[in-house]
Structures are given as structure tokens and as C-alpha cells.
Amino acid sequence: MNCIIIDDEATARAIINQLCSNVDSLTVLEEFPNAIQAIKYLNQNDVDLIFLDIHMPDFTGFDFIETIKNPPKIVLTTSDANFAIQAFEYDCIVDYLVKPITPERFSKAIQKAESSALTNASKSKASDEVETTSGNDLYVNIDRRLIKIDIPSIYLVEAKGDYILIKTEDKNYTVHSTLKKIEEKLPDSLFLKIHRSYIINVDKIIDIEDNSGLIKKDVIPVSRSNRPELMKRLNLL
């Protein structure tokens, strides 16, 4: 699951990030010291889970939940146990962690989040996936909406467990699908799988050094077996 952390205390963010690093199924995409920055990020990116502090200056965790549309699963993190009843009035909240957070309690919260995600996936029959292509367009199904992506604007596709992260010039999309499935949808003339977890738009490569390549600001590993094909595709002087 892709997640973000929202907490005005740097130490609290570091602790949650460390707890997340011990869980193979979690990938922390970003951390935010306030809810406003997180809202701007979510306007351009999709996540599966948010670790959200309740008490933050000016804009509380509950203000944040009320503001965003179709919120993902949320685990509240707080030093105050008095908001538990209010918290569970929101369907998106899967657990309520009181600081200091122990690894055991954190693990239970992740189990709840994963169980909730599996239930939703079953209900939607895995509807969030790569659907079809038409000309230069790729259509993905996210939250029961077909969203059109301009294929040439895609510069990177990354596998993240049961999901893929599609990065474009304008926006990133997290889609319930596999790297193999989207590879079949993308034109061979533009795209190449350079690692078991990455597909790149060859035209977007900025730099290659040893076993890694630079795409925009992303440094991507290039597997030894895929490097020869990549070098063939480049217009070398």
C-alpha cells in the first residue's frame, strides 16, 4: 500500500516512517508537516493509506477529512484518546493509534487497513485497473471512473505490490493492476521494461550511468539482462 504521513511534529513523522519501513507491504511516498500541503499533493496523486495526526495548528485532522473528496483509508495518530468516538463516525478511518505507538499496535492497524482494502477490492471486483487503449490514449479505471491518460506523457511505470504507479508529465496515478498488463497496452516503440519493477519511456531518458538511468528526477535501476536492449534503443553517437 502506498501511504503518506501528515503530522506537524518531525519526530512523530520519523517514528511512523520507521514503523512503516518494517512492513514490506507499505511504501511511504511523502511526509507533510501540515494538512494543506497534503491536500495539494492528493490533488495530483493517489494513495492507499494516510497516517494522520489530529492536533495540528490551524487545520486539524478532522478538518482535513472533511475537505478531501473520496478520502483513502486513514489511520489516526494522536496523543489524545478522547476523540475515538468522533473518529469512527468517518467510514474512511480504519484505526486510531494513541502515541507513543508500539510496533505491536501499529501492526494491528496495518492488518485492519489491509483487510479493509481487500474487502473494498472484492466489492469493486478489482475495478481499478488498466482498461483499454485507443490511439495515443490509455484508459484506467480509478474509483469507478474511466480516466484518460495521454500515452506519450507517461515517462515511468513502477510496480508496487498489487498496484502500479503511472507517472506522467502532469500527474501520477496509482492503479490496481500489474506491470505485465500495462506493458501489453503500451507501444513497444516508446516503452521498454528495464527492470522487473520498472517500465520507462525511452524518449524521456536524461542520463545513464552503470546500472541506473535518470528519468526526470527519478533514478531507476537497469537490470543487467535488460541493459543491452536499452542500449540498442538509444540513438548513440
One CATH from 3.90.1150.10, 3.30.505.50, 3.40.50.150, 3.40.50.2300 for 2-124: 3.40.50.2300
Cell digits of residue 61: 485532522
Between 6 and 142, name the one with better pLDDT.
Answer: 6
Q: What is the pTM of this model?
A: 0.53
Residue 132: its pLDDT value, please?
54
Task: List the domain boundaries for the chain.
Answer: 2-124, 130-233
- Over residues 16-35, mean pLDDT: 95
Share of the chain above pLDDT 90, in %: 53
Beta-strand pair 73-78/93-98? parallel
Per mean pLDDT, which range of 35-39, 63-67, 117-121 is the poorest?
Answer: 117-121
- Length of the chain as a residue count: 237
pLDDT-derived band at 133, boundaries 50, 70, 90? low
Could you tell me the fold of the domain covering 130-233?
A: OB fold (Dihydrolipoamide Acetyltransferase, E2P) (2.40.50)
Q: In b/e form, how buried is each residue of 202-219, taking b as 16+ CB within 10 angstroms?
A: bebbeebeeeebebeeee
126: pLDDT confidence band, cut at 50, 70 and 90? very low
Model confidence at 71, in pLDDT bands (50, 70, 90)? confident
Residue 164 in contact with residue 178, Cβ under 8 Å?
Answer: yes
